Structure 1
Amino acid sequence: MKKKIFALLMAAAMSLGLLSGCGTADSGVMDQANANAVSGGNSDLPVVTWKMGSTWGAGNVHFTVDQRFSEILSQLTGGRFTVTNYADGELCSASQLFDYVSQGTIECGGDWGGYWSGKDTAFELLSTIMDDFTALDYYTWIYEAGGMECYKEMYGQYNMEYFPLVTNPSESGIRSVKPITSIEDMQHMKIRLGGVMAGKAAQKLGINITTVAASELYESLQRGVIDGGEFSGPKADDSLKLQEVAPYWCAPAWYQSAGVNGVMVNLDAWNKLPEEYQVAFETAARLCCGEQLSRYIYNDMTVTNQMIDEQGITVTHLSDEDMELIRQTCLETYQEECEINPNFKMVYDSMQAYRATADNYRDWTGDYGFGFNREA
């Protein structure tokens, strides 16, 4: 068994270059010889077909990550273990997905943990954070500093395994029909803002938060139901064409400095898999996560240029004083939640322990750690 697993991992590593495409249906396809090598050429392994629901609609950039993961898994197992992807609403609604997977109605689901904050606010930290982590921080914390154990603990309480599929860069910011240059501006607007913690922080700041489904965001901005709102990063926002109805863009996205999407797996279904398939599943998720980190960052860069240089979007910013008030409000909001929810405190403490480890390194690397812009 150990030899088979070792062969699987070695073949996966050698195939990494082939797998790192653009996420399209024909990108990074392994040849059949490679696929057979990964699965150890073991025809005794069963043919397994799973269903994977999603919180994301068809055509959404996040849904393509679910699809890419399934593609990699099939490649790693020579097509013997396949996962069929279903967009939001095709098997169940996004709000039903957690229970569908937990109860075993379907085997797995592509999610964003913030949707499950009603069950436990700790899930929100596993998918988004205010004024804190970057995408690289999430990636490093998950794989090197105890983050994965937090996912296992929280989803395990609901009969599920969990594997991140992408660590998202910062969201765009608030897209609006009129410019936002201060907290006071936002206090006189109706704004769509995702996340329970962000909503609590906004309330402390006197900002009126309105609930609008992502699928209704474009129309709500167009019709004046809301004055501003957020969805995700620039590439994802472009998939909804929000720039067509919201010509102003207030950055940075203090309410979600980074995020995580992943796949939750019914534990009973997981335990029935051969060990080789469990390793392949975990390997596919890890490969997908690394690939999508660079893909998301680069796509957001290119779309940002298009929006500013070609589509006439105006970017605004808050003052340093307003940003400092937001920072302190976010910290206060998290501290209050830690006092009432032990699970939230468990995750938050792990994240802050990582930050403490990173402090000296982040300090001395300065501009060369997380990048800088050259003066014109």
Structure 2
Amino acid sequence: MSETQSNRRQVVIILGLVALVVLLFWLLVASHLQSGKTRHAAQVQSGEQQTFHWKLVTTWPKNFPGLGSAATNFSRLVDEMSQGRLTVSVYGAGELVPALGVFDAVSSGSVEAGHGAAYYWKGKNTATQMFTAIPFGMNAQEMNGWLHYGDGMKLWREIYAPFNLIPFAAGNTGIQMAGWFNKELNTVDDIKGLKMRIPGLGGEVWRRAGGSAVNIPGGELYTALQTGVIDATEWVGPYNDLAFGFYQVADYYYYPGWHETGSTLELIVNRDAFNDLPEDLQVIVETAARMANQDMLDEFTGRNNTALQELIHKHNVDVRPIPKPVLDKLRAISEQIYREESAKNPDFKRVYDSYKAFQDGVSEYHKVSEEAYYKMMD
């Protein structure tokens, strides 16, 4: 073999070795990439991804029946649906922040979420009150319809946006009782000078009717009634009121809850904290809130009558209707307030116009459905 042929053979061998090395290199790269994809898929499947931990503060005692259980249910649902990727620690009123400090705590980002009632924040914007309840307003079924299939949720989020908050409906008590009284309520004159714990627009109506309205956290109501700091209090309904023991410190239990006809409770989430979540966890938060919203209504519906019967037959509670002339006066005052607030606050007018239009429309159907059915049953 000539020297030239030998050199050519060496070149071919070298080129072949180079090609083999390149091939092996790319095979290794491809294998690594495929391994990464498989590992990522496994992580997605097993939940081994970035985890998040939130603090949630409430305006009521932790695990309190009905109101307090909603936050606990929300936390459990989020943990289960996310397979532990998002966990939520719940703190009752006063544990991390005062009961009425929830809004500011979540807005500032010191905690990620809160559970309360929008009418507590009327000092921020009077329009917030309509996202809980207004006197002679919609019932629970109608409120849920307005929020989720009307403009209610859109407007709610617009009102809360300047505070860096995203609200969700997260509970409904259904129609409430008018409250516990240590003085009889027979005429409009009996309201004069009567000190009552009653928040939101209901409190403003009560003041204009001649009473004195105060806003006291739920945990302080028993003592306030017992010591005479207040003459009356509204709270929720038989299920919650029995647990608070109001029958021990009040003489009369009046109905109906003219001031809270379908009270929506809220989950408020710090916008930055929510935006930090991946999309699937955002969906889980919204879904868990929606589930907690319905569950609370179901719980009150299932347990209110049993509690009422216990109050009447075991504790001899004097249950009375508010006389119609008193209700007529309270309703007339309510409508006057709506006109005045709409003239003062464009946000209030925008929300109230939407609220009232939906209420008027759905009431037309309920005349031939819900209302007609109850009349038939009577």
TM-score category of the 2 structures, normalised to the smaller one: 0.7 to 0.9
Aligned mates of 2:120, 2:196 — CA distance in 1 = 19
Against the structure 1 CA distance between its residues 178 and 373, is the aligned structure 2 distance closer, same or farther, given a 3 Å change threshold?
Answer: farther
Q: Distance in 2 between matches of 1:224 and 1:94?
A: 22
CA distances 1:289-314 after superposition (whole Å, capped 9, x unpaired): 12221112222222112112221111
Which has the larger displacement, 94-103 or 136-145? 94-103
Aligned: 1:60 with 2:70: no
Match of 2:142 in 1: 137
How many residues of Structure 1 are paired with residues of Structure 2 in the alignment?
335
Taking the TM superposition and a 5 Å limit, the aligned residue runs for 1:352-363 are: 352-363=356-367
2:347 paired with 1:343: yes
Which amino acid in the other structure matches residue 106 of structure 2? V
What is the 5 A alignment of 1:189-338? 189-195=194-200, 197-338=201-342
Task: Specify the SS of the correspondent of 2:89.
Answer: strand
Task: Give 1:368 deviation, angstroms.
Answer: 4.6
- 8 Å Cα contact 1:136-1:167 kept in structure 2: no
Deviations 1:15-44 (A, max 9, x none): xxxxxxxxxxxxxxxxxxxxxxxx972535
What is the CA–CA distance in structure 1 between the aligned matches of 2:371 and 2:322, rounded to whole Å? 22
Instruction: Verify: 1:367 aligned to 2:371, yes or no.
Output: yes
Provide the rounded CA distance (Å) in 2 between the counterparts of 1:179 and 1:264: 38
Identify the residue that residue 185 of structure 1 maps to in structure 2.
190
Cα distance, 1:155–1:207 mapped onto 2, change above 3 Å: same
1:85 deviates by: 0.4
Letter in 2 for 1:290: Q
RMSD: 2.0
SS class of match (1:202): helix
Matched, 1:124 2:97: no
Helix, strand or coil for the counterpart of 1:180? coil
Give CA-to-partner distance per residue, 1:107-166, whole Å, 9 cap, x none: 111121112111111111111211111111111111111211122111112111111111
Asked whether the equivalents of residues 58 and 87 of structure 1 are also in contact (C-alpha less than 8 Å), the reply is yes
Amino acid at match of 1:64: S
Please point out which of 155, 158, 174 is paired with 1:153. Answer: 158
Shift of 1:209: 2.6
In structure 2, the gaps of 5 or more residues are 1-42
Shift of 1:90: 1.3
Q: Output the amino acid matched with 2:136.
A: D
2:115 alignment counterpart: 110
CA distance in 1, matches of 2:285, 2:119: 23
SS at match of 1:128: coil
Distance 2:360 2:185 in 1: 33
Alpha-carbon distance in 1 for matches of 2:244, 2:355 = 32
Q: Contact 2:179–2:255 at 8 Å: present in 1 too?
A: yes
Equivalent residue runs for 1:9-158 within 5 Å: 41-61=45-65, 62-158=67-163
Letter in 2 for 1:348: Y
Q: Which has the larger radius of gyration?
A: 2
Which secondary structure state, in structure 1, belongs to the residue aligned with residue 265 of structure 2?
A: strand
Asked if 1:164 corresponds to 2:172, the answer is no
- Whether the 8 Å CA contact 1:138–1:167 is kept in 2: the answer is no
Change (3 A) 1:160 1:212: closer
Give TM-score, length-normalised by structure 1: 0.84
Query: Could you tell me whether the CA contact under 8 Å between 1:51 and 1:106 is conserved in 2?
Result: yes
Q: Which amino acid aligns with 1:208?
A: S
- Superposed CA deviations along residues 81-128 of structure 1, whole A, max 9, x for unmatched, are 111101111111123221221111111111211121111111111112
Q: Which amino acid aligns with 1:235?
A: Y
Secondary structure, aligned partner of 1:157: helix
Q: 1:350-373 CA distances to partner (integer Å, 9 max, x unpaired)?
A: 11121132132122225356x459
* 2:93 alignment partner, SS class: coil
Q: How many Å apart are 1:247 and its aligned residue?
A: 2.7
Identity %: 28
Long gaps (5+) in structure 1: 1-38
